[in-house]
């Protein structure tokens, strides 16, 4: 009797486990009623329901997932596994299992799940454990996916969270009343890759106006970034909230009740002309009277200080004898308030024009840029001058991309010459560059068009080495003749010149990829307009007394000789502290019968991945740009 009683209890325990679920672990479901999923069954074992044949052997369906979280970049799928059992807990390998997912997810059952019947009617059972791969699909949104697994009348559901997409918000923590602050949003997926062309919601808690700075509105660009301005119309504490694709970020902003601002009528000021600059200071609408304000300018002359009148206002003059950008700063030592005004001094009386091609010798149907630089009597670059380019002599039927171009802040105007499908004599193409308003200010460019006696190709790989405080990267050059044969024992000369520099600092993206990433506040052209490494008049655009960017990279061997295969290598060395903050141009050149052949390659000074992949635990060697963090190229800060 006792044995019979024990047998009854054992049967009841099995029935209870099958009916109520059981199982353990965060990702496991048994019987459909586990802690992390739901299950149901209907139709019993009657053999059919509603006209559909039901396999009456199916008594239970167990489902597990490899993870309850799925990376939004889709690189690591979650594996869904299912086992079908009969009432005796025997695995049924020949039963079909159906997988489904909602909310834009993608699920791919493995090919070996189903039983296969050959031409003779022999059936080979499928896998005992049926599996499927779950990915987030093309949507990189953080969201919940519900996976449903069905076998016969048994159905199980489990939730998997798509995670990893994140937003970073960077910008000033304080803004003066009635001024603007600039903020940058970066949207990345779980792998830290930019998510482009997604609309971002931007909300000011206090209702201050937010305005995108690009024509694409509040959508991220190809780098996954969006820049907007906050107009501080209400003083006090504000909170900016940005959200997109299920991710969000906030930043607290303190808006000072002080209206402390500089203004002037002209953004471009003629050299040797005095520009009136106005200052106003009110606090919650009340003028700040008889306050001494200290003044400074990165270029030009301003008084040391001014004093506000009964209306909280003051004015002073600003002037300069040289062209270039300037940042005027006004500061109150007692309160710590300061404000800036960005302006540019421009020369307006052109006296000299020099013109030169980027390459003196080009192949038929090849192209080269033609650059004219306009300067005044004091050798300042002259901005906003229209330069006319005109083909004087050309036997190859070449063409210009434009007839005119306007000089920039460095006095440069450029067009592109495209040769026809023919060869010229030496210096057989003449192009004249002259000022539209004064044709007597003129220079001539001479070019040669012909099949290259040699071809130069520059290249590199993905590798870079560390050498103390330096990085070393190897570049290769191949020299061939017009038929593609290697040219041995050919001397190749190299130059390395700065092209651009960047301001900003490295920021830690620990929530996503644990990588340090550059937060660039300004991208600026190299100031050395004529590449002579000399600080000429008018080239010091930011007024710091230096040519920016500095020559932080060097070539270990400025001249090499090709081997029997026409190849040679050269090493470029740069300081780790300048990595990612400068772009340079590596130029290789050789000559045949007095004709120079040139090839160039532009690149940003790189950084080792191992030096940026563990933030914030380990610092990066380039935390702040050596050229400052200000958002204006005119500023040396």
Last residue of a domain, one of 206, 236, 256: 256
pLDDT of residue 480: 84
Last residue of a domain, one of 256, 289, 306: 256
Average pLDDT over residues 439-463: 86
Domain presence at residue 105? yes
Is 382 found in the same domain as 310?
no
The structural domain count of the chain equals 5
What residue numbers bound the domain in which 92 lies?
Answer: 60-117+124-163
| Portion of the chain with pLDDT greater than 70, in percent | 88
Is 462 found in the same domain as 607?
yes
Average pLDDT over residues 23-50: 45
Domain presence at residue 480? yes
Residue 42 scores a pLDDT above 70: no
Domain presence at residue 9? no
pLDDT of residue 118: 66
Q: How confident is the model at residue 543 (pLDDT cuts 50, 70, 90)?
A: confident
Is 603 found in the same domain as 463?
yes
CA distance 346 to 587: 32
Q: Are strands 209-212 and 225-231 parallel, antiparallel or unpaired?
A: antiparallel
Please give the mean pLDDT across all residues of the chain.
Answer: 85
Higher-confidence position of 270 and 615? 270
Is 468 found in the same domain as 341?
no
Residue 116 scores a pLDDT above 90: no
Residue 11 scores a pLDDT above 60: no
CA distance 359 to 589: 11
CATH of the domain at 91: 2.60.40.10
Residue 171 scores a pLDDT above 70: yes
Is 540 found in the same domain as 476?
yes
Q: How confident is the model at residue 17 (pLDDT cuts 50, 70, 90)?
A: very low
pLDDT of residue 461: 85
Q: Is 623 exposed, middle or buried (0-12, 13-18, 19+ CB in 10 A)?
A: exposed
Residue 30 scores a pLDDT above 80: no
Phi-psi region for residue 36, left (φ > 0), alpha (ψ -120 to 50) or beta? alpha
pLDDT of residue 617: 77
Average pLDDT over residues 439-448: 93
Domain presence at residue 32? no
Domain presence at residue 631? no
pLDDT of residue 552: 86
pLDDT of residue 605: 93
* pTM, to two decimals: 0.53
Locus of tokens 């997912």: 101
Structure tokens at 360: 């003196």
Residue 121 scores a pLDDT above 50: yes
Domain presence at residue 465? yes
Is 553 found in the same domain as 468?
yes
CA distance 621 to 440: 53
Tell me: the pLDDT tens digits for 339-381?
899 999 999 999 999 999 988 888 888 899 999 999 999 999 9
pLDDT of residue 115: 67
Domain presence at residue 25? no
CA distance 510 to 615: 6
pLDDT of residue 462: 83
Is 342 found in the same domain as 297?
yes
Domain presence at residue 374? yes
pLDDT of residue 105: 93
pLDDT of residue 634: 86
Is 551 found in the same domain as 499?
yes
What residues contact residue 119 under an 8 Å CB cut-off, 6+ apart? none
Is 505 found in the same domain as 419?
no
pLDDT of residue 3: 47
Is 271 found in the same domain as 248?
no
Higher-confidence position of 117 and 515? 515
Number of neighbouring beta carbons within 10 Å of residue 292 = 13
Is 590 found in the same domain as 501?
yes
Number of neighbouring beta carbons within 10 Å of residue 116 = 12
Q: Which residues pair with 158 in a beta bridge?
A: 37, 147
41-50, 316-325, 606-615: which range is least confident on average? 41-50
Q: Is the peptide bond before 374 cis (omega within 30 degrees of 0)?
A: no
Last residue of a domain, one of 449, 479, 500: 449
Tell me: the pLDDT tens digits for 129-155?
999 999 999 889 999 999 999 999 999
Using CA atoms, how far residue 425 sits from 362, 396, 430, 451, in Å, is 12, 10, 11, 11
Residue 31 scores a pLDDT above 60: no
Is 493 found in the same domain as 606?
yes
């Amino acid at each position: 009797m006792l044995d019979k009683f024990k047998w009854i209890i054992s049967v009841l325990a099995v029935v209870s486990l099958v009916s109520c679920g059981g199982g353990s672990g965060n990702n496991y479901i048994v019987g459909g009623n586990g802690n992390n999923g739901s299950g149901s069954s209907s139709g019993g074992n009657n053999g059919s329901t509603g006209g559909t044949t039901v396999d009456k052997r199916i008594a239970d369906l167990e489902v597990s997932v490899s993870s309850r979280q799925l990376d939004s970049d889709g690189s690591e799928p979650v594996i869904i596994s299912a086992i079908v059992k009969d009432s005796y807990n025997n695995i049924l390998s020949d039963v079909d299992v159906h997988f489904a997912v909602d909310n834009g997810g993608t699920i791919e059952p493995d090919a070996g799940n189903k039983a296969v019947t050959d031409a003779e009617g022999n059936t080979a059972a499928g896998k005992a454990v049926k599996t499927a791969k779950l990915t987030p699909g093309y949507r990189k949104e953080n969201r919940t996916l519900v996976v449903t697994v069905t076998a016969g009348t048994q159905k199980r559901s489990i939730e998997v969270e798509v995670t990893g997409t994140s937003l970073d918000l960077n910008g000033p923590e304080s803004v003066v009343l009635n001024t603007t602050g600039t903020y940058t949003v970066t949207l990345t997926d779980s792998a830290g890759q930019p998510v482009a062309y997604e609309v971002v919601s931007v909300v000011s808690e206090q209702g201050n106006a937010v305005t995108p700075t690009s024509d694409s509105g509040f959508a991220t660009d190809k780098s996954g970034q969006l820049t907007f301005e906050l107009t501080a119309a209400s003083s006090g504490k504000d909170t900016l909230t940005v959200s997109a694709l299920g991710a969000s970020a906030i930043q607290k902003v303190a808006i000072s009740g002080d209206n402390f601002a500089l203004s002037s009528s002209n953004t471009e000021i003629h050299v040797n002309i005095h520009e009136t600059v106005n200052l106003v200071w009110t606090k919650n609408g009340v003028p700040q009277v008889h306050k001494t304000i200290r003044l400074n300018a990165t270029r030009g002359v301003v008084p040391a200080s001014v004093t506000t009148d009964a209306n909280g206002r003051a004015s002073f003059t600003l002037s300069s004898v040289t062209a270039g950008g300037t940042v005027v700063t006004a500061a109150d030592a007692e309160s710590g308030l300061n404000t800036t005004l960005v302006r540019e001094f421009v020369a307006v009386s052109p006296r000299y024009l020099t013109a030169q091609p980027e390459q003196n010798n080009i192949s038929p149907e090849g192209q080269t840029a033609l650059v004219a630089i306009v300067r005044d009597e004091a050798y300042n670059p002259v901005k906003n001058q229209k330069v006319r380019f005109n083909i004087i002599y050309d036997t190859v039927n070449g063409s210009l991309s434009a007839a005119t171009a306007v000089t920039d802040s460095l006095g440069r105007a450029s067009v592109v010459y495209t040769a026809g499908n023919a060869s010229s004599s030496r210096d057989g193409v003449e192009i004249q560059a002259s000022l539209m308003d004064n044709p007597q200010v003129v220079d001539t460019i001479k070019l040669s068009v012909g099949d290259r006696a040699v071809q130069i190709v520059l290249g590199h790989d993905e590798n870079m080495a560390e050498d103390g405080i330096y990085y070393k990267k190897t570049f290769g050059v191949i020299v061939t003749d017009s038929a593609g044969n290697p040219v041995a024992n050919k001397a190749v000369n190299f130059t390395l010149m700065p092209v651009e520099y960047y301001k900003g600092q490295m920021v830690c993206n620990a929530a996503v990829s644990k990588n340090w990433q550059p937060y660039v506040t300004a991208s600026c052209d190299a100031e050395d307009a004529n590449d002579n490494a000399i600080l000429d008049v008018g080239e010091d655009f930011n007024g710091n007394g230096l040519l920016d960017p500095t020559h932080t990279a060097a070539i270990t061997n400025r001249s090499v000789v090709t081997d029997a295969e026409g190849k040679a290598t050269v090493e470029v060395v740069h300081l780790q502290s300048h990595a990612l903050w400068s772009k340079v141009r590596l130029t290789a050149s050789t000559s045949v019968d007095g004709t120079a052949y040139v090839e160039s390659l532009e690149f940003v000074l790189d950084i080792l991945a191992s030096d940026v992949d563990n933030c914030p635990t380990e610092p990066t060697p380039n935390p702040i740009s050596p050229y400052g963090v200000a958002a204006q190229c005119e500023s040396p800060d």
